[in-house]
């Protein structure tokens, strides 16, 4: 979490620079002095060994520079990001030296020169000698370290992140190439390659050609995370797009956070809870969000005042534990107080679990488990002539739901992040055009891949030629109701990492072995 303290807060207009002098070509490698400046900017530590301290406000006591780093407020790109009541300024060199100066709030500042920037850093005054914000640190550092910091500030906005060249932007994906899921990987790869080819055929993105790198993995020999790391080491990518790694979504998301690599639209039906990270963006809801959707539907549509509710989860899976907690909170917010969260238990113990819940008069069960768990539970419940409402995220156990005992006709509800009706005729035709007829299996996976490329392409277009990972993430956060033609509209935000934040509820027609919509779109935002 960034500290609510500003460095050079009064030096620039809070928004990203849109005008000013054209920047020279980006340096491919930092000089030793620039690299030393980067260390100072990002860590607040002195490469020369001279020491860096800061003072804040009227307190004369020095604080280590590592506590108040430049990047903690202004970001690694120097553009700053609002947080709470604090709006860090833009400190890129082109903005500080903009001809004619710039406005900051109601105050106009003259164009800064090198001496003026030094005074702002060390004395907290602008070109006219006006005091800058009292919350800003005033830094004490050696001349050698100051020269290094200035050298880095001059190239800060022109640095190219890994996976970028002036001519290309390299994207990566992680897909299974062997084993039972290889066919899904092949279908997704064909769609991704077709979508990238289409982007390049239209001229690329802001003068750059898009290159797709595939980190293929054999589940029997290598983890998806290891494949992603190996690709990033051998041929660094700017961002990852789509991808399929069942069961490894958590480690991959954690790695993306650690490596600060954007990951957009992994095909992750059982994804970890989104919103806790900065770099991973999910297109659709996972079990956590769908559990909330199911509870919301049950409260609004089942006509139950304050029923006894049991939330059952398979143990040992943090994704399902988070889903259970989310369901509990949602029920409490909507006035349902008699909600119990407990372990689902192994299928062999389903009869005992059913007997316990039936004896308590439970009327609604939210079951967070796989096909085996749901099948065993429904069979034992039907045998005991106990048929509560059963709510299940469909992405976890759709097969067992479709073969449920007849006693649960009309009593079994599934939550889904999207429905076939979300796909437009044009969207479906476009998806079909991205791969050959042989590769048109696994529709949901291919639709997810195509949607992910559409989201990435739009965010790259909006970011423009001056591309960085930080600016790209900011563009993603600004997307609002982007239509892909293959699912619900996609919106992200500073604190939102699920594009279509909500879902649908469908009822199981056990006579026809089919699903029928039981709700419209249920929003969670």
- Tokens read off for 27: 């340096």
How many residues comprise the chain?
A: 525
User: Which CATH architecture fits 168-286+422-494?
Assistant: 3-Layer(aba) Sandwich (3.40)
CB atoms within 10 A of CB 331: 26
Q: Which residues pair with 504 in a beta bridge?
A: 416
Task: Please identify which residue in the block is written with the tokens 């390299």.
Answer: 170
**Structure confidence by residue, pLDDT tens digits, 471-484:** 999 999 999 999 99
Residue 242: is its pLDDT beyond 70?
yes
**Closest-CA residue to 219 (of 183, 175, 188, 265):** 175
**Structure confidence by residue, pLDDT tens digits, 483-495:** 999 999 999 999 9
Q: What is the CATH number of domain 288-416+504-523?
A: 3.40.50.2300
User: Which CATH architecture fits 32-158?
Assistant: Orthogonal Bundle (1.10)
Query: pTM, whole model, 2 decimals?
Result: 0.76
- Tokens read off for 49: 């060994």
Mean pLDDT of the chain: 88
Q: Which residues pair with 213 in a beta bridge?
A: 172
- Write the DSSP string, 80-110: ---BTTB-PPP--HHHHT-TT-EEETTEEEP
For residues 521 and 422, is the Cβ–Cβ distance under 8 A? no
- As to burial, measured by CB atoms within 10 angstroms (0-12 exposed, 13-18 middle, 19+ buried), residue 276 is exposed
- Tokens read off for 201: 């055929």
Residues 341-357, mean pLDDT to the nearest whole number:
95
CB atoms within 10 A of CB 64: 12
Going by pLDDT thresholds of 50, 70 and 90, the confidence category of residue 276 is low
How far lies 237's CA from each of 143, 171, 468, 509, 516, in Å? 37, 5, 12, 46, 42
How far lies 348's CA from each of 311, 345, 379, in Å? 19, 8, 12
**Closest-CA residue to 375 (of 397, 357, 353, 352):** 397
For residues 282 and 265, is the Cβ–Cβ distance under 8 A? yes
Edge-to-edge strand list for the sheet holding 280-284: 209-217, 168-176, 239-241, 263-264, 280-284, 498-500
pLDDT of amino acid 106: 64
Q: Say how far apart CA 146 and CA 126 lie, in whole Å.
A: 17
Residue 130: is its pLDDT beyond 90?
no
Q: What does DSSP say about strands 53-56 and 59-64: parallel, antiparallel, or unpaired?
A: antiparallel
Hey, what's the torsion of the CAs at 200, 202, 203, 206, to 10 degrees?
Answer: -90
Q: Kindly report the CA angle at 381 between 376 and 387, in degrees rounded to 5?
A: 135
Residues 56-84, mean pLDDT to the nearest whole number:
80
Residues 444-451, mean pLDDT to the nearest whole number:
96
For 205, residues 6+ apart whose C-beta sits below 8 A from its C-beta are: 169, 199, 457, 460, 461
For residues 91 and 12, is the Cβ–Cβ distance under 8 A? yes
Q: Which residues pair with 63 in a beta bridge?
A: 54
Residue 3: is its pLDDT beyond 70?
no
Percent of the chain topping pLDDT 90:
68
Residue 20: is its pLDDT beyond 50?
no
How far lies 411's CA from each of 125, 383, 478, 513, in Å? 69, 15, 40, 14
Residue 1: is its pLDDT beyond 60?
no
Extents of the domains making up the chain: 32-158, 168-286+422-494, 288-416+504-523
- Spell out a b/e string for 286-300, using b for 16 or more CB atoms within 10 Å of the CB, else e: bbbbbbbbbbbbbbe
**Closest-CA residue to 435 (of 181, 173, 189, 108):** 189
**Closest-CA residue to 473 (of 498, 488, 494, 452):** 494
pLDDT of amino acid 408: 96
* Domains 32-158 and 168-286+422-494 are alike in CATH topology: no
**Structure confidence by residue, pLDDT tens digits, 312-346:** 999 888 889 999 999 999 999 999 999 999 999 99
Does an H or E element contain 189, and which?
Answer: helix 182-201
pLDDT of amino acid 108: 73
Edge-to-edge strand list for the sheet holding 53-56: 59-64, 53-56, 137-140
- As to burial, measured by CB atoms within 10 angstroms (0-12 exposed, 13-18 middle, 19+ buried), residue 173 is buried
Helices (H), 218-317: 224-234, 249-259, 287-301
């Amino acid at each position: 979490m960034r500290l609510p303290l500003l460095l050079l807060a009064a030096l620039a207009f809070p928004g990203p620079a849109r005008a000013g002098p054209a920047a020279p070509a980006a340096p491919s490698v930092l000089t030793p002095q620039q690299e030393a400046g980067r260390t100072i900017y990002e860590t607040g530590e002195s490469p020369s060994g001279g020491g860096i301290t800061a003072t804040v406000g009227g307190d004369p006591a020095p604080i280590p520079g590592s506590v108040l780093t430049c990047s903690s407020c202004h970001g690694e790109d120097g553009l700053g990001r609002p947080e709470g009541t604090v709006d860090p300024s833009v400190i890129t060199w082109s903005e500080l030296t903009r001809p004619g100066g710039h406005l900051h709030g109601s105050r106009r500042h003259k164009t800064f020169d090198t001496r003026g920037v030094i005074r702002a850093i060390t004395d907290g005054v602008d070109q006219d000698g006006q005091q800058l914000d009292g919350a800003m640190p005033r830094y004490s550092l050696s001349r050698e370290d100051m020269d290094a910091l200035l050298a880095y500030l001059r190239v800060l906005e022109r640095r190219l992140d890994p996976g970028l060249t002036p001519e290309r932007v390299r994207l990566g994906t992680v897909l299974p190439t062997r084993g039972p899921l290889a066919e899904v990987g092949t279908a997704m790869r064909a769609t991704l390659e077709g979508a990238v080819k289409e982007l390049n055929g239209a001229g690329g993105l802001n003068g750059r050609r898009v290159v797709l790198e595939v980190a293929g993995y054999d589940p029997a020999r290598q983890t998806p995370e290891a494949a992603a790391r190996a690709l990033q080491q051998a041929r660094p990518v700017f961002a990852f797009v789509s991808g399929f790694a069942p069961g490894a979504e958590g480690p991959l998301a954690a790695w993306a956070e650690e490596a600060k690599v954007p990951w957009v639209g992994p095909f992750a039906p059982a994804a970890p809870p989104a919103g806790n990270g900065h770099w991973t963006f999910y297109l659709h809801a996972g079990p956590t969000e769908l559990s909330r959707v199911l509870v919301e539907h049950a409260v609004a549509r089942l006509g139950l005042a304050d029923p006894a509710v049991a939330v059952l989860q398979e143990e040992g899976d943090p994704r399902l534990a988070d889903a259970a907690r989310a369901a509990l909170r949602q029920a409490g917010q909507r006035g349902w107080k008699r909600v119990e969260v407990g372990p689902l238990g192994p299928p062999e113990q389903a009869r005992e679990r059913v007997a316990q819940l039936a004896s308590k008069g439970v009327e609604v069960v939210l079951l967070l488990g796989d096909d085996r768990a749901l099948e065993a539970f429904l069979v034992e419940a039907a045998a005991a002539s106990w048929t509560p409402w059963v709510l299940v995220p469909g992405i976890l156990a759709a097969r067992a739901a479709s073969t449920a005992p007849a006693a649960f006709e009309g009593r079994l509800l599934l939550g889904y992040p999207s429905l076939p009706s979300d796909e437009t005729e044009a969207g479906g035709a476009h998806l079909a055009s991205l791969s050959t007829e042989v590769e048109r299996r696994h529709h949901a996976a291919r639709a997810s891949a195509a949607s992910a490329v559409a989201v990435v392409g739009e965010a790259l277009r909006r970011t423009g030629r001056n591309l960085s990972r930080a600016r790209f993430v900011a563009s993603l956060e600004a997307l609002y109701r982007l239509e892909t033609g293959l699912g619900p509209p996609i919106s992200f935000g500073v604190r939102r990492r699920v594009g279509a934040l909500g879902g649908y509820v469908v009822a199981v027609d056990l006579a026809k072995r089919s699903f029928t919509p039981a709700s419209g779109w249920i929003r969670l935002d």
